[in-house]
């Protein structure tokens, strides 16, 4: 196999086949802070996108996925024709965007054959698009011997998401998929991309972190996400700082007093308090107080619901029903407007909490949510 050796492909020969995998993520705390240069704390899930890939020497990018929308399972593109800015074309935007981003950054990437399978539900707020991007970037990095590190791959994957797929997201999801380690949450400073891992093992404390997918789907390219981001940038400009990250908790009252627009005040309050909550979660985990994380999750949810306003009735219902049933804390996770919530609970009450959420959904005539246990898994890797 020539992967990683940088040899020129021989004409007419497909070579360097392999299998790669990249996970989805849950964000424990630090929501809508990543495009404000703030702190985030995601961990990887054991739900992944797997890519079987080989290099092609004819400049063709052939992408296939069993789970794709009917009629779009296999798509054949010419690498040289890839260009952003033609509006969303479906799931293939993410891998095609990675090939485009690699080439735009000057890397010598040609054709490839990539076949994807996934255990990660799309639209559940668990970063299926980032997993698709990262697995593609990792496979091409190996197949074409590019020698890029995880941070470089994550940045190129985000470029695919932002500039090719047209979703103005931050860097959290791609870094989580590329860099997380098993049994740990990733504390990432999105300003300089410095990171550290903190052990996070609720099971060892008799706790469970439940993941409840409301099955309300969301799409970040459809406007609300971009409006929040633009609002945060407007607030930072009005306050004369590079990003809202630069407002510390002690400066919040003064900053709010200087902002005339109530919407900008709400956005600012969320970002500043959320960065502080990440620090408080880190402190609780460092002190071995996993139960102490619960109330911080619930506080974060209230801030996302009332100040940042990215929750939805179904996410609020998960949180309210879980807390009523005795959970230690709960919040929406990811971009919002649907997707999933996380619930921290004693293992002994986990079944009762899940049952209470399911009953609340049934009583509200909503489709049943999907409940899973979330355990910190490893980041992207080569399988074969
Ligand atoms: C989405 C984006 C991330 C981040 C979260 C909110 O998942 O892809 O970059 O902004 O929303 O924290």
Q: What is the pLDDT of residue 3?
A: 36
CB of residue 77 inside a 6 A radius of ligand 1 = no
Nearest to 357 by CA among 315, 297, 329, 328: 315
Which atom of ligand 1 has the smallest separation from the CA of 172? 9
Q: What is the pLDDT of residue 314?
A: 97
| Topology alike, domains 18-197+378-382 and 201-373 | no
CB of residue 32 inside a 6 A radius of ligand 1 = yes
CB of residue 346 inside a 6 A radius of ligand 1 = no
Tell me how far the alpha carbon of residue 157 lies from the centroid of ligand 1, in angstroms. Answer: 14
Q: Ligand 1, atom 1: nearest CA belongs to which residue?
A: 335
Indicate the domain borders of the chain: 18-197+378-382, 201-373
**What's the mean pLDDT when you consider all of the chain?**
94
Q: What is the dihedral of CA 273, 279, 281, 284, to 10 degrees?
A: -130
Q: What is the pLDDT of residue 67?
A: 83
Read off the pTM. 0.94
Strands (E), 278-358: 329-333, 340-346
No. of helices (H) and no. of strands (E), the chain? 10, 12
CB of residue 334 inside a 6 A radius of ligand 1 = yes
pLDDT tens digit sequence for 244-260:
999 999 999 999 999 99
Q: What is the pLDDT of residue 9?
A: 46
Tell me how far the alpha carbon of residue 128 lies from the centroid of ligand 1, in angstroms. Answer: 12
Q: What are the φ/ψ torsions at residue 52 (nearest 5 degrees)?
A: -100, 125
Q: What is the pLDDT of residue 15?
A: 58
Q: Is the pLDDT of residue 305 over 90?
A: yes
Nearest to 374 by CA among 93, 135, 22, 46: 46
CA distance linking residue 1 with residue 46, whole number of Å: 28
CB of residue 161 inside a 6 A radius of ligand 1 = no
The verdict on domain 201-373 having CATH code 3.30.70.890 is: yes
CB of residue 177 inside a 6 A radius of ligand 1 = no
pLDDT tens digit sequence for 12-35:
445 559 999 999 999 999 999 999
Q: Ligand 1, atom 5: nearest CA belongs to which residue?
A: 335
> pLDDT > 70: what percent of the chain?
94
Q: Is 159 left (phi over 0), alpha (psi -120 to 50) or beta?
A: alpha
Tell me how far the alpha carbon of residue 11 lies from the centroid of ligand 1, in angstroms. Answer: 42
Q: Is the pLDDT of residue 367 over 50?
A: yes
User: What size, in residues, is the chain?
Assistant: 384
Which residues are catalytic, by number?
Answer: 173
CATH class of the domain defined by 18-197+378-382: alpha beta
């Amino acid at each position: 196999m020539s992967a990683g050796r940088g040899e020129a492909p021989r004409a007419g020969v497909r070579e360097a086949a392999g299998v790669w995998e990249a996970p989805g993520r849950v964000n424990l705390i630090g929501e809508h802070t990543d495009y404000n240069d703030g702190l985030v704390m995601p961990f990887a899930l054991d739900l992944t996108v797997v890519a079987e890939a080989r290099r092609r020497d004819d400049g063709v990018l052939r992408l296939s996925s069993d789970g794709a929308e009917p009629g779009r399972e296999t798509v054949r593109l010419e690498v040289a024709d890839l260009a952003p800015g033609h509006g969303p074309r479906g799931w293939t935007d993410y891998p095609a965007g990675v090939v485009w981003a690699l080439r735009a950054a000057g890397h010598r990437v040609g054709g490839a054959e990539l076949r994807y399978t996934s255990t990660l539900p799309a639209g559940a707020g668990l970063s299926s698009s980032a997993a698709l991007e990262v697995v593609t970037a990792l496979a091409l990095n190996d197949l074409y011997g590019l020698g890029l590190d995880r941070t470089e791959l994550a940045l190129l994957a985000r470029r695919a998401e932002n500039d090719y797929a047209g979703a103005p997201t931050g860097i959290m999801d791609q870094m989580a998929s590329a860099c997380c380690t098993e049994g740990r949450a990733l504390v990432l400073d999105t300003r300089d991309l410095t990171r550290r891992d903190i052990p996070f093992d609720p099971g060892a404390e008799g706790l469970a972190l439940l993941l409840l997918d409301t099955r309300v789907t969301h799409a970040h390219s459809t406007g609300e996400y971009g409006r929040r981001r633009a609002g945060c940038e407007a607030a930072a400009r009005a306050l004369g700082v590079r990003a809202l990250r630069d407002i510390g908790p002690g400066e919040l009252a003064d900053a709010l007093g200087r902002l005339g627009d109530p919407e900008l005040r709400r956005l600012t309050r969320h970002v500043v308090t959320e960065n502080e909550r990440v620090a408080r979660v880190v402190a609780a985990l460092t002190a071995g107080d996993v139960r102490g994380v619960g109330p911080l999750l619930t506080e974060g949810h209230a801030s996302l619901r009332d100040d940042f306003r990215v929750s939805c009735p179904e996410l609020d219902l998960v949180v309210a029903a879980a807390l009523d049933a005795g959970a230690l804390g709960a919040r929406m996770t990811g971009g919002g407007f649907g997707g999933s919530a996380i619930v921290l609970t004693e293992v002994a009450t986990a079944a009762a909490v899940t049952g209470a959420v399911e009953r609340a959904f049934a009583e509200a005539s909503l489709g049943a949510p999907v409940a899973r246990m979330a355990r910190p898994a490893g980041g992207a890797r080569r399988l074969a």
